[in-house]
C-alpha cells in the first residue's frame, strides 16, 4: 500500500506543480494583455471625450462670432448660459483622468450645451430626437439656412 500511496502522492505533487506553473504563466500573460487592452480602451475613450469637448468649444466660438455679426442672435438668457458653458469648458482638467468629478463636469457641460442650443433655436440641428416638443426662446428664430457664414 505504501507504494500505491507514494505513486499517487507523486502524481498529485506533479499535478500541483503544473497547476501552479500554469497559473503563474496565465497571470503574467493576462497582465500583459490587460495592460494593452486598457491602454487601447483609454485612448479610445480619451479620443471620444476630446472630440465631444472640441465640438462644444467649436460651437461656442461659432456662436460668439455670430453674436458679433448680429447682436440679436443670442438673447440675454442664452448669453448667460453661453458664458456659463464657456466657464465650464475652461475648468476642464484632463491631467487626472480617473478623477470622478471629470464625468460630472462633462455631464454639466452636455446639459448646458443643450440648454443654450435650445435657447438659440438650433437644438434640433444637433439633437434631432430631443428637440421635439420644445419651444423656442429668444427674440429671433435662427436656422442654419438663415445664417450666412
Query: pLDDT tens for residues 73-132?
Result: 899 999 999 999 999 999 988 788 778 888 899 999 999 999 999 999 887 776 666 544
- Three-state SS annotation for 2-33: HHHHHHHHHHHHHHHHHHHHHHHHHHHHHHHH
CA distances from 33 to 28, 30, 41, 129 (A): 9, 5, 12, 40
Give the range of the structural domain holding residue 117, as residue numbers without chain letter. Answer: 2-146
Quick one: DSSP state of residue 72? G
pLDDT at 143: 41
3-class secondary structure, 67: helix
If one counts every other C-beta atom within 10 angstroms of the C-beta of residue 56, the result is 22
In tens, the pLDDT along 4-49 reads 667 778 888 889 999 999 999 999 989 998 999 999 998 998 899 9
Looking at the 3D structure of the chain, how many domains does it have?
1
Amino acid at each position: 500500500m505504501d507504494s500505491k500511496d507514494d505513486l499517487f502522492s507523486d502524481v498529485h505533487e506533479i499535478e500541483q506543480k503544473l497547476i501552479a506553473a500554469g497559473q503563474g504563466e496565465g497571470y503574467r500573460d493576462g497582465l500583459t494583455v490587460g495592460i494593452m487592452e486598457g491602454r487601447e480602451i483609454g485612448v479610445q475613450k480619451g479620443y471620444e471625450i476630446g472630440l465631444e469637448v472640441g465640438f462644444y468649444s467649436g460651437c461656442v466660438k461659432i456662436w460668439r462670432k455670430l453674436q458679433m455679426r448680429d447682436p440679436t442672435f443670442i438673447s440675454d438668457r442664452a448669453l448667460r448660459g453661453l458664458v456659463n458653458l464657456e466657464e465650464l469648458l475652461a475648468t476642464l482638467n484632463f491631467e487626472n483622468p480617473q478623477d470622478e468629478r471629470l464625468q460630472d463636469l462633462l455631464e454639466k457641460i452636455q446639459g448646458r450645451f443643450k440648454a443654450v442650443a435650445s435657447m438659440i433655436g438650433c437644438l434640433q440641428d444637433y439633437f434631432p430626437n430631443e428637440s421635439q416638443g420644445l419651444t423656442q426662446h429668444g427674440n429671433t428664430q435662427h436656422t442654419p439656412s438663415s445664417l450666412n457664414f
